[in-house]
A and B are shown apart, each in its own frame.
Chain A
Amino acid sequence: MTVAGRHDPFGIHGIIVLLTGLGCAFCLIRDYYTPEPGADRLSSYYDEPIKAGILLALIWALIGMFFGDWVAWLLAYPQMTFDADWSSFGRMRPIHTTGVIFGFGGNALIATSFHVMQRTCRTRLADQLTPWFVLVGYNLFCIIAVTGYLMGVTQSKEYAEPEWYADIWLVVVWVAYFALYLRTLARRREPHIYVANWYYLAFILVVAMLHIVNNLALPASLARAKSYSLFSGVQDAMVQWWYGHNAVAFFLTAGFLGMLYYYLPKRAGRPIYSYRMSIVGFWGITFFYVWVGSHHLHYTALPQWVQTLGMTFSVMLLIPSWIAAANALLTLNGAWHKVREDATLRFMMVAAVFYGLSTFEGSFLAIRPVNSLSHYTDWTIAHVHAGTLGWNSMIIFGAIYYLVPQLWKRPHMHSPALVEFHFWSAIAGTFIYVFAMWNSGITQGLMWRAYNQSGTLAYSFLDSVMAMHPYYIARAFGGLLFLIGTMVGVYNVWRTIQAAPAHLTQTEQPALPGSPQAAPLVGS
């Protein structure tokens, strides 16, 4: 890659891949002379990759949120680009989206899935190498993606921007991840597969399906980064939003519900409220979500029948979504006093509430006449951030505050007060952000369609741009509060790790439980 692409950003990516490969080879060779591990290793959980995944997720959270807030300020103060090509909104925005969705969200999903699959199957990960391959490989994908955007390498497909070579690499990593999951499930010492694993499985499988189909493309040359999508025009639009919305469904919903279904009951010390609601919610989400992508294309050149199907299923989707949210909140019955006292559990509770709210808003926005006002405006941005800040980030932070003391053998986080601070700054940031964008979105939508009494359009487009200025400042401030919360969280995690007992080595991994206990997570 390095040699073939010397006239192209492709070559720089070749160097990054080369260095990563050398680094991995070094780590493997270094361990060549270490003695064969004893058989007792197999009787403990393998938690090292989970720790690494959590730290990587936090690093990506800082990167992704920093760039997000940076481009937010750019919309208010557009001169801050230093006359450079890499510094414009267009190139930095995908760094934000990829950084937070795939970097922060993806690493958190992989790390928690390694944890949940071992604990709910009462078994060790199927081998030692694959988890590291998945983690390093996945992060290499993310690094290639974001460095590519800075150099202008992008397919332009939203949330699927990385070019063909990065996409092929992700498929390889993903197959290894799926195989690891199945192999670990095959070793389980529990007859039933717990609901969190269904969600993680759906996440892995459907994301693979979406990723492969939407990224089908023909490279202009094997020595260049540029490729052309197999699809064009209206078919491409439908494939893209089938992908785009199901990335929300199976990356940001299914996988995260897996997280919710394990960590919330664990932290609350209560079994899941209803086994049957889990089943209905899971299969409803898996079936309905796939239909709704076309609601991104209302009133466009997409045939009306597809738009109508998309709208109908979007409204129906509210039922399984609220069943899943209600199942989580009802689990807290009998543990609400803990929500009041424990910020970690409160993160998870708020996540479930925001999940319910943003799925309601999503179904509402998918209704065609509502969409005529909201589409193309900041209302969409408000909706997305209610979901990602309020639901995805909150559940990740909840899971991290649960996991970090446990994995690093501490009784609790370094500072419970800072967890409280993080919670309130995240909540305040989310509310300021979402309210600012609701206001700006609805204002924009109303200005674009306003007529004056003589029957002509009342406002120029520029009028609507100028009206956004105060909201853009408020939004950037809300984002900053959220970022500050995250920074405090990272500091707190760092101090907790530093205080961990130094003699903690591989041989002292937590032991597997001896005999299956009769206390499953699932209630009636």
Chain B
Amino acid sequence: MFGTHYKLERYSIGLVVAIIVVASIGGLIEIAPLFTIHETVEKAPHMRVYTPLELAGRNIYIREGCYACHSQMIRTLSDEVERYGPYSLAVESQYDHPMLWGSKRTGPDLSRVGGKYSDKWHSEHLNNPRSVVPQSIMPAYAFLKRTELRTVDLSMDLAALKRLGVPYTDAMIKNASDDAKGQTDPDGSWADGVRARYGEATNVRAFDGDPGTVTEMDALVAYLQVLGHLTDVAHASEPGVSK
């Protein structure tokens, strides 16, 4: 064995090939089957996609690095299920490009935070966390309320995700910008289109408390309020909860 190596280390290309082969094996065996074994991701036939406003909110969540302190992955441990709700299933993040499971909980897990607090609470909390939770160490995001959301590009975002396999329809892509505005204005003319395309259960509200301009606060709160509500399969196995 050491004799062979004594010869191998005289050839740089031999070393290069050997390193590539040895370092590829583990990755291939662990990653490739995840794409081919069908049980890896559960089935959720009625799962909906993010609306353009929620997607914009998700992109703000990414932009601000929220994932550095908040996980979106409830582990199969009893204390976590009790604290945050049913443990997370793979299918719940099947449309998440990329996933935001996170690796650190400086703040609590957010995978089921949707509907847990009111829009007003979220808006005030993001504006100044210590106004509602005095001991909080979260940064204040007051600029979200002041910043208008850029909606003209959203069609491109939906189109890109469609090419990656997220089932957005052509009508969703075409109306992305209007749907973003419509979702924050329940009495406006665009609101019905949002419900028609994304389902009656979609939250259509003035998330930041102001139905006028669409702000980044609208988008982020809309995203937080839908977390854990794209599908209810995770609740299906719970006793006493009917699907």
Q: Is there an interface contact between B99 and A185, defined as CB atoms closer than 8 Å?
A: no
Does B187 interact with chain A (Cβ within 8 Å)?
no
Q: Is there an interface contact between B9 and A192, defined as CB atoms closer than 8 Å?
A: yes
How many Å lie between the Cα of A424 and that of B176 in the bound state? Answer: 59
Interface of A is mostly: helix
Does B117 interact with chain A (Cβ within 8 Å)?
no
- Give the shortest distance, in Å, between B85 (CB) and chain A (any CB): 13
In-complex Cβ contact of B97 among A228, A287, A291, A299 (8 A)? A228
Closest to A376 in B: B105
- Chain A residues with Cβ below 8 Å from B80 are 448
- Chain B residues with Cβ below 8 Å from A303 are 34, 37, 39-40
Q: Is there an interface contact between B23 and A287, defined as CB atoms closer than 8 Å?
A: yes
Q: Is there an interface contact between B140 and A233, defined as CB atoms closer than 8 Å?
A: no
Does B118 interact with chain A (Cβ within 8 Å)?
no
Which among B159-167, B178-186, B190-198, B221-229 touches the partner chain?
A: B159-167
Considering only CB atoms and an 8 Å cut-off, how many residues of chain B contact the other chain? 88
In-complex Cβ contact of A157 among B64, B83, B92, B98 (8 A)? B98
- Give the shortest distance, in Å, between B79 (CB) and chain A (any CB): 4
Q: Is there an interface contact between B103 and A376, defined as CB atoms closer than 8 Å?
A: yes
Q: Is there an interface contact between A236 and B73, defined as CB atoms closer than 8 Å?
A: no
- Chain A residues with Cβ below 8 Å from B135 are 462, 465-466
- Give the shortest distance, in Å, between A379 (CB) and chain B (any CB): 11
Residues facing A in B16-65 (CB within 8 A) are 16, 19-20, 22-27, 29-31, 34-35, 37, 39-41, 59, 62-65
In-complex Cβ contact of A231 among B59, B63, B97 (8 A)? B97
Does B188 interact with chain A (Cβ within 8 Å)?
no
- Give the shortest distance, in Å, between B109 (CB) and chain A (any CB): 8
- Chain B residues with Cβ below 8 Å from A291 are 26, 29-30
Does A385 interact with chain B (Cβ within 8 Å)?
no
Does B236 interact with chain A (Cβ within 8 Å)?
no
Does B121 interact with chain A (Cβ within 8 Å)?
no
- Chain A residues with Cβ below 8 Å from B30 are 238, 242, 291, 293-294, 306, 309-310
Does A173 interact with chain B (Cβ within 8 Å)?
no
- Give the shortest distance, in Å, between A190 (CB) and chain B (any CB): 10
- Chain B residues with Cβ below 8 Å from A237 are 93, 99, 101
Q: Is there an interface contact between B88 and A84, defined as CB atoms closer than 8 Å?
A: no
- Give the shortest distance, in Å, between B207 (CB) and chain A (any CB): 19
How many Å lie between the Cα of A289 and that of B20 in the bound state? Answer: 13
Count of inter-chain pairs, beta carbons less than 8 A: 257
Residues facing B in A10-24 (CB within 8 A) are none
Given contacts A78-B136, A90-B69, A209-B23, are A234 and B156 in contact (CB under 8 A)? no
Does A240 interact with chain B (Cβ within 8 Å)?
yes
Q: Is there an interface contact between B75 and A300, defined as CB atoms closer than 8 Å?
A: yes
Residues facing A in B196-234 (CB within 8 A) are none
How many Å lie between the Cα of A167 and that of B73 in the bound state? Answer: 27
Q: Is there an interface contact between A465 and B68, defined as CB atoms closer than 8 Å?
A: no
Given contacts A154-B62, A300-B73, are A205 and B98 in contact (CB under 8 A)? no
B133-156, CB under 8 A of A: which get 1 and which 0?
Answer: 101111111110000001001001
In-complex Cβ contact of A186 among B12, B35, B75 (8 A)? B12
How many Å lie between the Cα of A414 and that of B93 in the bound state? Answer: 56
Does B171 interact with chain A (Cβ within 8 Å)?
no
Q: With a 10 A CB-CB cut-off, give which of B30, B63, B163, B165 has the most chain A CB atoms.
A: B30
How many Å lie between the Cα of A88 and that of B91 in the bound state? Answer: 32
How many Å lie between the Cα of A293 and that of B23 in the bound state? Answer: 13
Q: Is there an interface contact between B97 and A230, defined as CB atoms closer than 8 Å?
A: yes
- Chain A residues with Cβ below 8 Å from B173 are none
Does B94 interact with chain A (Cβ within 8 Å)?
yes
Does A451 interact with chain B (Cβ within 8 Å)?
yes
Given contacts A279-B2, A465-B136, are A233 and B90 in contact (CB under 8 A)? yes
Q: Is there an interface contact between A228 and B164, defined as CB atoms closer than 8 Å?
A: yes
Does A377 interact with chain B (Cβ within 8 Å)?
yes
Q: Is there an interface contact between B2 and A229, defined as CB atoms closer than 8 Å?
A: no
- Chain B residues with Cβ below 8 Å from A290 are 23-27
Q: Is there an interface contact between A193 and B12, defined as CB atoms closer than 8 Å?
A: yes
Q: Is there an interface contact between B16 and A201, defined as CB atoms closer than 8 Å?
A: yes
Q: Is there an interface contact between B156 and A220, defined as CB atoms closer than 8 Å?
A: yes
Q: Is there an interface contact between B93 and A88, defined as CB atoms closer than 8 Å?
A: no
- Chain B residues with Cβ below 8 Å from A156 are 62, 65, 67, 98, 100
How many Å lie between the Cα of A473 and that of B82 in the bound state? Answer: 31
- Chain A residues with Cβ below 8 Å from B77 are 299, 372, 449
Closest to B12 in A: A185
A54-96, CB under 8 A of B: which get 1 and which 0?
Answer: 0000000000000000000011101101011101111101100
- Chain B residues with Cβ below 8 Å from A233 are 41, 90-96, 99
Q: Is there an interface contact between A301 and B89, defined as CB atoms closer than 8 Å?
A: yes
Q: Is there an interface contact between A238 and B15, defined as CB atoms closer than 8 Å?
A: no
Does A206 interact with chain B (Cβ within 8 Å)?
yes
Given contacts A154-B62, A226-B157, are A206 and B19 in contact (CB under 8 A)? yes
Does A221 interact with chain B (Cβ within 8 Å)?
yes
Q: Is there an interface contact between A90 and B64, defined as CB atoms closer than 8 Å?
A: yes
- Give the shortest distance, in Å, between A484 (CB) and chain B (any CB): 25
Does B243 interact with chain A (Cβ within 8 Å)?
no
Does A127 interact with chain B (Cβ within 8 Å)?
no
Q: Is there an interface contact between A89 and B65, defined as CB atoms closer than 8 Å?
A: yes
Closest to A463 in B: B135
How many Å lie between the Cα of A397 and that of B29 in the bound state? Answer: 38
- Which 6 residue pairs of A and B lie closest in terms of their CB atoms, listed nearest first? A90-B65, A290-B26, A291-B26, A299-B75, A152-B63, A88-B139
A-B contact list, 16 entries, CB within 8 Å: A75-B137, A81-B139, A83-B140, A90-B64, A154-B65, A155-B98, A157-B98, A193-B12, A228-B97, A230-B164, A234-B90, A242-B27, A250-B23, A286-B23, A313-B26, A462-B136
